[in-house]
Chains A and B, each alone.
Chain A
Amino acid sequence: MSTDQLSDIFAALADPTRRAILIRLSEGEASVTELAEPFDISLPAVSKHLKVLERAGLVKRSREAQWRPARLEAGPLRDASDWLERYREFWEERFDRLDDYLRETQGQHGADRKGRSERAATHGEELDSSPSSNKETP
């Protein structure tokens, strides 16, 4: 999926009315009139929202029936969701490792609550070589 398509999808999803329309469509196809019912907006306004959703590939409108029902297209939604999921995994893995590293470093320097008192003196010396010590605002 291209980043451009993703931008279209996220931009389409950014509007609460459009999200409500999608949620309604996830229950089954609907006409513009049906979609407009729960909202305090005009039919042309709903049509406009549908066009944005169509352009993003999230909705398809039937050409056959005269009332042109709209239905949800799941593929692009799933792609967008997968993309976010991969983004989350990418950072989660790194932040988990950062967390491990920070725990290790603090453990070594006796800063954790386990309190390895016997080695405290040695650790006191090690603190000076810690990459973080004395790194205050220059």
Chain B
Amino acid sequence: MSTNKLNVSAPADEPVIILTRTFDAPRELVFAAMTDPELIPKWWGGRRSTTEVDEMDVRPGGRWRFVEHDSDGNDWAFRGEFREIVPPERVTQTFEFEGMPGHISVDTMTLEEEDGHTKITAVSRFDSFEDRDGMLQSGMEEGAAETYDQLEELVTKQAQREAPQEASQEAPRV
């Protein structure tokens, strides 16, 4: 079991989501796991899924497509295009879930090594947020407060307030 935790933040000043996570392994090894088609099935997908690399052409402009087969017999396909490969420190690629075509994020994974540990910072930039530049510009010059924390705080507060009236009315949405 790992004590390295995934950190998620959605900063206020950019339409991005940032994930960070540290691995107890040197950077070359992490980079290889992310860019070697043979290694993708070892970690991509859920624990009870198997993943097939349908296509993975690791160079700028090259396509990738992974199909995940879950234990209920469902297939989930993800695809995109590599934009930039800088071994062993950075990969930029587009990411699209085929179940939601057209919603493409541009993901940049940066790998930093310190004392044999590697920190991945994955920044996902969402196209649809960018489309709304005009709106996003309004009053966004403030610092990068973490929307996610704020959201959680609000939702928790609201859930506590509404629990008596609303708890059983709303079916869980997936």
Contacts and interface: CB of A to CB of B under 8 A. Distances in A.
Contacts of A22: 154
Interface stretch (A60-68, A75-83, A115-123): A75-83
Interface residues of A, number: 53
Contact of A102 (B25, B88, B135, B145): B25
A16 interface: yes
Contact of A10 (B15, B34, B152): B15
B155 A15 contact: no
B32 A99 contact: no
B13 A74 contact: no
A131 B36 contact: yes
A81 B6 contact: no
A57 B144 CA distance: 23
Contact of A100 (B34, B43, B122, B128): B43
B19 A7 contact: no
Interface in A1-37: 1, 3-4, 6-8, 10-11, 13-19, 22-23, 26
B75 interface: no
A99 B23 contact: yes
Interface residues of B, number: 66
Say what secondary structure dominates the interface of chain A.
helix
Contacts of B23: 95, 98-99, 102
Contacts of A100: 2, 43
Contacts of A13: 12, 147, 150-151
A23 B150 CA distance: 9
A92 B19 CA distance: 9
Nearest to B29: A132
B152 A81 contact: yes
Contacts of B6: 88, 91-92, 95
A137 B88 contact: yes
A47 interface: no
Contacts of B139: 14-15, 17-18
A101 B129 CA distance: 34
B168 interface: no
Given A14-B140, A87-B8, A137-B86, 19 more contacts: A8-B135, A17-B139, A19-B150, A72-B154, A74-B166, A77-B151, A81-B151, A84-B8, A91-B122, A102-B30, A103-B24, A131-B38, A132-B32, A132-B33, A135-B28, A135-B87, A135-B88, A136-B88, A138-B87
The 6 A-B pairs with the shortest beta carbon distances in the complex, nearest first, are: A102-B25, A98-B43, A132-B32, A97-B43, A74-B158, A132-B29
24 contacts: A3-B126, A3-B128, A6-B128, A14-B139, A15-B142, A16-B12, A16-B142, A19-B150, A23-B150, A77-B155, A81-B152, A84-B17, A84-B151, A87-B17, A91-B8, A91-B19, A95-B21, A99-B2, A99-B4, A101-B39, A101-B42, A102-B30, A131-B36, A137-B88
